[in-house]
Amino acid sequence: MAWKKIKSILAMDHNYSTKPPGLYWRSHTLFITSTVAIGLFTDLFLYGLIVPVLPYVLQERVGIPQDQVQPHVSGLLAAYAGASVVFSPVAGYIADKTSSRQLPFLSGLAALLGATVLLYLGQNEAVLIIARILQGISAAIVWTIGLALCLDTVGPKNLGKTIGSIFSFIGFGSLIAPVVGGVVYKETGFIGVFGIGIGVLMLDFLMRLCVIEKKIAHRYDSSIKDPFLDEDLSREEESDDDNEEQPLLEGVSKSKYLIPDGQPTVVQKVPLLYCLMDARLLSALLVALIQATLLGSFDATVATEAQSLFNFSSLEAGLLFIPLGICDLFVGPIAGWTVDKYGVKPVATVSYAFLTPVLVSLRSVHAGGKDQIVLYCILLALCGVGQAAIGAPSIVEAGDVVNKYHKANPETFGENGPYAQLYGLNSMVFCAGLTIGPFLAGTLRDSIGYGNMNAVLGAICIATSIICYLFLGGKPRWIRRYLKP
């Protein structure tokens, strides 16, 4: 009887005649998106909390010599990302097969709690690796289901500015986490870092527990709108050039997303695989991969380079992440609004092109006094501007493409659609970048130096910018006109 009442309060039963307490505020768009933001914030906060501390933990608690720290730091960062790569598609598949996002969303906290405890207790590298793997599993669940829940809540048309705003908030988490981690570790040791992590986890747990999804709330009260019930294809592709041609092109545009009969068994069971033949979706995933590779590169090298160039402590190394992350607070929402207003192509193309000269300029930083520290901070801030702007385009573009396939093939994809699977795939690709980034940056830094490492990353960014221009949002108009018979 008690369990039945708890299920009713949590809106987990199937008796829709009795409204759970707080139905309206618990299903409100602002509360749901805030919960997703807090969930992603918690993941990045606990991830970043340890980043500036890792070199010192490995030296002081594990006993690794300073000149051997870099590959071990890269390995711990990669363990987190590798676990997310493996578990993200699993989390997406499970989420799309369940009637509610809430339970799997809550389950991610169990892994995160286990990771936090092990990070506190760990006295050898094996335990630290297990902790990072658990943290990676939690991240796979949170990012996969959180983004799907966000899309369920606001619909495709408002996804850009919503994602931009959420990313600006969670960017704040990645901004303050290294700072807090460096300060607290210096003053109190790891027990203080652990206490902060548990506090953030408790807030996250309470908010996730209270959420009632829009589609569930709609069953209790039809006045609460489910944004997906009335959504048509969210965006017209750039190929629909002129308004007067729209009626003629609409049927053709929709037909290109129809999945033909006779697909292989694996595609019939996971139809999202068919969508991977779309160049727009592949480009969107590439954007996410490169974004994460850059992020992993910064995480793996900023603290160690600061220690090498300026003899920084954990506190001072943590403070260097402020200029890198602070731009998320301001640039993220603006970039998201720009994506909704003008499309993904210009934002992604310009942002990656902007990052190229900034990364190359990092070659000019060398050991020195305040002037070199200021220069390093300015260049990191400019990197933060580019990083903040490339967050929304990938998610919006991938969601838009898959939404078109879902609307054109509703029976193939089912009622829930493949959105959790999509964001599981997106998370897998992103975490693959977080895996590649530390190893790539660490290897390049050790072999050709920090400056040349950033020059290589700059070359990758300009190549990505060209791909964004050619494929995101469809081929450019001048190319389509040239290809017309």
Q: For the segment 305-358, what is each residue's pLDDT rounded down to a tens digit?
A: 887 878 877 667 767 777 776 776 777 778 877 887 788 899 999 999 999 999
CA dist 139 to 37, 54, 318, Å?
A: 13, 19, 22
| Separation of alpha carbons 347 and 228, rounded Å | 26
Whether the Cβ atoms of residue 169 and residue 145 lie closer than 8 Å to each other:
no
| Residues 6 or more apart whose Cβ sits within 8 Å of residue 215 | 152, 226, 228
Q: Tell me what pLDDT residue 349 has.
A: 93
* DSSP conformation class of 259: P
Q: Tell me what pLDDT residue 285 has.
A: 92
* DSSP conformation class of 21: T
Give the tokens for residue 237. Answer: 């592709």
Give the tokens for residue 459. Answer: 């070359």
Place of tokens 């408790």: 202
Which one-letter amino acid corresponds to residue 189? G
Whether the Cβ atoms of residue 38 and residue 207 lie closer than 8 Å to each other:
yes
Could you say which of 3.20.20.70, 2.40.170.20, 1.10.10.60, 1.20.1250.20 is the CATH number of the domain covering 23-222+269-483?
Answer: 1.20.1250.20
193 alpha-carbon distance from chain centroid: 24
Burial of 398 (0-12, 13-18, 19+ CB in 10 A): buried
Q: Tell me what pLDDT residue 457 has.
A: 93
| Separation of alpha carbons 441 and 211, rounded Å | 40
| Separation of alpha carbons 169 and 163, rounded Å | 10
Which one-letter amino acid corresponds to residue 323? P
Of 424, 400, 419, whose CA–CA distance to 345 is shortest? 400
Give the tokens for residue 246. Answer: 């729209």
Q: What angle do CA 175, 177, 180 make, to 5 degrees?
A: 115
Q: Tell me what pLDDT residue 362 has.
A: 87
Residues of the chain with pLDDT under 50: 3, 232-252
| Separation of alpha carbons 256 and 249, rounded Å | 11
* DSSP conformation class of 415: S
DSSP-derived 3-state class of residue 449: coil
Whether the Cβ atoms of residue 428 and residue 88 lie closer than 8 Å to each other:
yes
Whether the Cβ atoms of residue 440 and residue 293 lie closer than 8 Å to each other:
yes
Whether the Cβ atoms of residue 154 and residue 27 lie closer than 8 Å to each other:
no
Burial of 6 (0-12, 13-18, 19+ CB in 10 A): exposed
| Residues 6 or more apart whose Cβ sits within 8 Å of residue 479 | 470
Q: Tell me what pLDDT residue 246 has.
A: 41
